[in-house]
Homo-oligomer: A and B are copies of this chain.
Amino acid sequence: MFIEPVLIAGAWRASESTGTFQSTNPATGEVLQARYPISSWADCEAALDAAEKAFAILRTMSGDAIATFLETYATKIEQRAEELVVMANQETALPLKPRLADGELPRTTGQLRLAAAAARSQSWRQATIDSAAGIRSCFAPIGPVAVFGPNNFPFAFGSISGGDFAAAIAAGNPVIAKANSSHPGTTRIFAEAAQEAATETGMPAGTVQLLYRTSHSIGEQLVTDERLGATGYTGSREAGLVLKRAADAAGKPIYLELSSINPVVFLPGSLAERSDELAEEFVSSCLMGTGQFCTNPGLLLLLDGETTENFITDITRRFDAAPAGTLLSPAVEKSLHASHHTLTEAGAAILCGTGPAAHGGCCSVKNTLLRCSADSFLRDSETMQTEAFGNSSLIVTVADLDQAAAVIAALEGNLTGVIYSAKDGSDDAAYRRLEPILRQKVGRLLNDKMPTGVAVSSAMNHGGPYPSTGHPGFTAVGIPASIHRFTALHCYDNVRSDRLPEILRDDYAGSAQRLIDGVWR
């Protein structure tokens, strides 16, 4: 039985595995042939050792060298685009086109090239010089980074291709990627391309490494290892919190994207003004990618009234009429059913959906709308905020602004929050009442726009208060801010110029902005 090798220290080698796993085509239910190893600690040990050695070299390499690697890698991804999208489609059921080929793939290579530009410019270092005191500081790479990628973006958030990978490498950190078990084949192709690029561009062995899977306890051991600098994790809240607990206890930074229900408030005036338009926007955002975006609107807040009832009837009809997409894996299907069970047990009524979809793929659940009152929501707001990851949303109707404020105040931290208001100003007082409460609960506040698009922008915040992430000060998307997660602050006091990193020297000739004696130059 052939077991796929792992990538350690620059070479593909047989894993010292404790078992194997296979992925499933969620559209057909077919178990895919390739067998991937579940790594023992021996694999982690070898990877950590190689990463430590790579880091000693990598952290002294120029930003140009790192940029060249990232750009070469981006080109290699484009050369293997066809293979990648076919494999990812097979493993995730995400549409070949436009989603994978025209959306996620160019986004991924674009991110890598933006990271390359940041590595080249070194602007993320925030060099600060106090000439009189003889003190200089800048951000520096934090050390080898373990990246655990999610199931829902096999390219753009992939453990060896996505935003965490790009940010970690840009700062000069080696990456130990842990593939998502639902798309190991896709991750393998990326890793092959990454290693080829690393070899061609003279990066140290161990700059990019790939393990497919470990037990939970070995994963915990990995994120606490002394040789590791930090961890980036995107995935389920449950598994993420296990890693967080372990990393926290060891004093190791861990950046998490865990869960988010992304509340959307339609104020009455907006509904009265453009009900049809809002229904269209809401439904298409909810069902996009079968509802499996991190920023999928999972909670809709509406004020009681006839317009609201008509609107609910309308969106229910649209949910019913739209074809149910295929979910990413049998695990996602199972978890969605479980969430529906939890929510209905807690008192949510089913407006449509919840059962297996008749004409969807193998892993498919009917488009689902649930509904509850503010009282019902507030009675057990924690349970009512159970994430139903997939093509599903919960509508909460409230009697008045006081109740709306109470529901928003009871929300956990989220990545995004949205308020739609009337163009004629009739909702402005309500906006002023609710916005300050919602603002504190979310990383990105939107107006009159669905949250599902996460632009790759330096102004983006793809982050938010716990438990949407582990820390409200960091973003996973948006360079250079996302790079800061994988850095440490290095200060030099009374150190001779020739012993300083280039960016802190008096004769620095690069283009990065530096704060010199209080003035940015």
A34 at the interface (CB under 8 A from B): no
> Looking at the complex, which of A90-98, A331-339, A488-496 is the stretch in contact with chain B?
A488-496
- Is there contact, CB below 8 Å, between A458 and B518? yes
Instruction: Name the one of B128, B435, B459, B467 contacting A459, with C-beta atoms under 8 angstroms.
Output: B128
Return chain B residues, CB-CB under 8 Å to A448: 494
What string of 1s and 0s marks CB contacts (under 8 Å) between A442-469 and chain B? Answer: 0111111101000101111101011100
> Looking at the complex, which of A43-51, A197-205, A242-250 is the stretch in contact with chain B?
A242-250
- Is there contact, CB below 8 Å, between A457 and B490? no
Per assembly, the copies of the chain total 2
Return chain B residues, CB-CB under 8 Å to A444: 491-493
7 tightest Cβ-Cβ pairs between the two chains A and B: A251-B466, A461-B491, A472-B488, A248-B248, A130-B459, A444-B491, A135-B459
25 contacts between A and B (CB under 8 A): A60-B436, A130-B455, A130-B459, A130-B460, A135-B460, A137-B460, A142-B473, A143-B440, A251-B467, A251-B470, A253-B472, A253-B473, A431-B499, A443-B488, A444-B492, A444-B493, A445-B491, A446-B493, A446-B495, A447-B495, A447-B496, A461-B490, A461-B491, A472-B488, A520-B520
| Most chain B beta-carbon contacts within 10 A, residue among A455, A466, A472 | A472
Give residues of chain A (211-251) contacting chain B, Cβ–Cβ below 8 Å.
244-245, 248-251
With A135-B459, A445-B492, A446-B492 known, 19 other A-B pairs at CB within 8 A are A130-B458, A133-B455, A135-B460, A142-B473, A245-B249, A248-B249, A251-B466, A252-B466, A253-B472, A253-B473, A444-B492, A447-B495, A447-B499, A449-B493, A451-B493, A461-B490, A472-B489, A473-B487, A473-B489
Chain A contributes a number of interface residues (CB within 8 A of B) equal to: 69
A190 at the interface (CB under 8 A from B): no
Return chain B residues, CB-CB under 8 Å to A136: 459
- Is there contact, CB below 8 Å, between B56 and A436? yes
Return chain B residues, CB-CB under 8 Å to A60: 436
C-alpha spacing A496/B494, complex, angstroms: 48
- Is there contact, CB below 8 Å, between A459 and B489? no
C-alpha spacing A88/B87, complex, angstroms: 69
A484 at the interface (CB under 8 A from B): yes
C-alpha spacing A481/B455, complex, angstroms: 27
A513 at the interface (CB under 8 A from B): yes
C-alpha spacing A492/B451, complex, angstroms: 11
A159 at the interface (CB under 8 A from B): no
- Is there contact, CB below 8 Å, between B459 and A133? yes
Nearest CB to that of A143 among chain B residues? B440
What string of 1s and 0s marks CB contacts (under 8 Å) between A366-399 and chain B? Answer: 0000000000000000000000000000000000
Instruction: Name the one of B135, B447, B461, B493 contacting A137, with C-beta atoms under 8 angstroms.
Output: B461
